[in-house]
């Protein structure tokens, strides 16, 4: 196997694959920064150009482009509150508040450095998983998928902070939105109001772009100030000086990086769950383990680190079932699967035996492309961060164009722009009256998955699926996730009462 590892690296460093990887990185960098296009869409557009390429050349180009979009998608999320990718929504929650305090450089330093470390973690797991890839994924059936979606919904408790009731109300509304469209079992339209557009449900991309990006742009338009005008040290020089601090934050919170990377890789392995699920689960786990959970959503650097680390790790995780036996872990890996067939490779035994050097070349590309993209992003942080100090009225037209582009290109339908505008209005109301937006979005993402897996679980196993070992294990984690905030509050109360008693004793 060691010879295949070395062979894969040397093949990547041949002139043609190396040049194609740099070209893919450049395309991925631009696509990631521009909201709406997405890595999977760009992959599909680029596949026709790989017809005459050798396997290593094709994957140097395609993978170099795909993995970079997750990294650079965080840049617009942090600076402008507009998710560059649908899977960068969680980065907006704390990254953009930090930018508004004048800490855009620190937030970018943290998210980019954690992205690079997450990519290394995911690639390492991908390399080590090759011998055990098949039994791991085959152990999951619809009951296990349903349990994982319920675990994701359970993090609503953590993401709601002190306003648990508001969080559950928003989650319930999100589940209602997830029900819009055709019933997957009966084929009957639900809540479509005779609108053909709603038969496919409400798209997650325009919803994310409007709920977070649109709401922030409307707030900026109403305030008539620059984005980074919310802190006492909000100057370009102060913001840029925080880049090194952001990198140090990542090293200080190394546990968050490891846990988020593990969640991203694990969710990426499971086909169909996707990056949106992974990022919110990692974000919720970071908030639950934090000593200052009340700061999440207001500019907590731990939330930025968790969001950055999970994004790149989940890409490597989704490659595991794709390479192992042709089951894509997400939309991007599904498009990539067609590239295997274009260049004449068969996922499964061939990729793990006779073409193992090609497999390892793919792993090397994911690591190298991310480090090159992060290095390029660090070089461009200065001009990018200065954009956040431009007067709001001058910047708003450009941001509105980005929002419209991001919503429209999701499915090339003007109705998506209308959804984005409606979501932006809801987002502004949520900010104004302090209602959490994340539980709503998480419930929309997970609602349709939970419904489908519950139906399949009951159809296949009736209620006996509740006794399956993996389901019981995930159930135990759910119980702990629900009890953890309550136990933390009890400990805080006991500490405060103990300190009060000690003060009374001293006073006496």
The per-residue pLDDT for 232 is: 44
Lowest mean pLDDT among 9-13, 339-343, 387-391, 404-408: 387-391
The whole-number average pLDDT for the span 83-92 is 68
- Cα 348–Cα 352–Cα 353 angle in degrees, nearest 5: 115
Q: Tell how far CA 317 is from the center of its chain.
A: 13
Q: Is residue 226 over pLDDT 60?
A: no
Rounded distance between C-alpha atoms, residue 74 and residue 427, angstroms: 20
The whole-number average pLDDT for the span 48-62 is 80
| Mean of the per-residue pLDDT values of the chain | 75
The per-residue pLDDT for 387 is: 62
Q: Is residue 508 over pLDDT 70?
A: no
The per-residue pLDDT for 388 is: 57
For residue 273, which of 382, 171, 144 has the smallest C-alpha distance?
144
3-state secondary structure of 182: strand
The per-residue pLDDT for 235 is: 46
Q: Is residue 11 over pLDDT 80?
A: yes
Q: Is residue 276 over pLDDT 70?
A: no
For 430-440, letters b (16+ CB in 10 Å) and e give: beeeebbbbbb
Q: How far apart are the first and last CA of the chain?
A: 73
Burial class for 193, CB neighbours closer than 10 Å (0-12, 13-18, 19+): exposed
The per-residue pLDDT for 237 is: 47
Q: Is residue 223 over pLDDT 60?
A: yes
The per-residue pLDDT for 363 is: 82
Asked if 388 and 227 touch (Cβ cutoff 8 Å), the reply is yes
> pTM for the full model?
0.63
The per-residue pLDDT for 280 is: 74
Rounded distance between C-alpha atoms, residue 260 and residue 121, angstroms: 10
Q: Is residue 176 over pLDDT 80?
A: yes
The per-residue pLDDT for 40 is: 65
Instruction: Summarize pLDDT for 361-394 with one digit per residue, the tens.
Output: 888 888 888 888 888 887 877 776 666 566 656 6
Where are the chain's structural domains?
2-45+53-226+240-467
């Amino acid at each position: 196997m060691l010879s295949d590892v070395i062979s894969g690296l040397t093949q990547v460093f041949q002139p043609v694959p190396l040049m194609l990887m740099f070209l893919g990185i450049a395309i991925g960098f631009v696509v990631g920064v521009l909201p709406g296009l997405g890595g999977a869409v760009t992959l599909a557009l680029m596949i026709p150009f790989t017809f005459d390429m050798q396997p290593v050349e094709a994957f140097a180009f395609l993978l170099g482009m795909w993995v970079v979009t997750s990294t650079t998608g965080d840049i617009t999320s942090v600076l402008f509150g507009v998710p560059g990718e649908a899977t960068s929504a969680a980065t907006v929650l704390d990254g953009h508040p930090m930018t508004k305090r004048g800490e855009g450089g620190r937030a970018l330093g943290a998210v980019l450095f954690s992205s690079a470390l997450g990519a290394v973690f995911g690639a390492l797991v991908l390399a080590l998983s090759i011998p055990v890839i098949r039994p791991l994924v085959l152990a999951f059936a619809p009951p296990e998928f349903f349990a994982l979606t319920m675990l994701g919904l359970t993090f609503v408790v953590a993401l709601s902070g002190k306003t648990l009731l508001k969080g559950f109300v928003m989650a319930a509304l999100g589940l209602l939105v997830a029900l819009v469209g055709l019933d997957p079992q009966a084929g009957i339209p639900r809540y479509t109001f005779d609108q053909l557009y709603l038969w496919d449900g409400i798209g997650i991309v325009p919803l994310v772009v409007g709920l977070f990006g649109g709401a922030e742009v409307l707030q900026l338009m109403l305030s008539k100030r620059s984005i980074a005008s919310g802190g006492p040290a909000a100057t370009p020089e102060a913001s840029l000086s925080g880049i090194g601090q952001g990198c140090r934050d990542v090293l200080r919170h190394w546990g968050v990086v490891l846990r988020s990377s593990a969640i991203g890789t694990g969710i990426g392995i499971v086909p169909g769950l996707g990056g949106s699920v992974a990022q919110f689960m990692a974000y919720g786990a970071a908030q639950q383990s934090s000593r200052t959970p009340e700061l999440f959503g207001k500019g907590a650097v731990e939330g930025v680190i968790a969001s950055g680390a999970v994004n790149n790790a989940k890409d490597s995780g989704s490659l595991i079932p794709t390479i192992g036996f042709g089951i894509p872990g997400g939309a991007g890996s599904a498009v990539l699967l067609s590239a295997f067939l274009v260049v004449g490779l068969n996922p499964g035994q061939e990729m793990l035996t006779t073409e193992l050097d090609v497999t390892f070349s793919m792993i090397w590309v994911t690591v190298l492309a991310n480090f090159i993209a992060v290095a390029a992003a660090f070089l461009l942080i200065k001009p990018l961060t200065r954009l956040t100090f431009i007067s709001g009225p001058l910047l708003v037209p450009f941001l509105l164009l980005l929002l419209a582009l991001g919503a429209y290109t999701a499915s090339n339908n003007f109705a998506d722009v209308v959804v984005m505008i409606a979501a932006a209005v809801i987002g502004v109301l949520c900010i104004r009256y302090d209602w959490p937006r994340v539980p709503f979005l998480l419930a929309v993402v997970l609602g349709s998955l939970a419904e489908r897996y519950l139906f399949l679980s009951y159809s296949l196993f009736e209620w006996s699926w509740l006794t399956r070992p993996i389901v019981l294990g995930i159930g135990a984690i759910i119980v702990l996730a629900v009890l953890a905030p309550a136990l933390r509050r009890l400990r805080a109360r006991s500490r405060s009462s103990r300190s009060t008693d000690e003060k009374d004793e001293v006073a006496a």
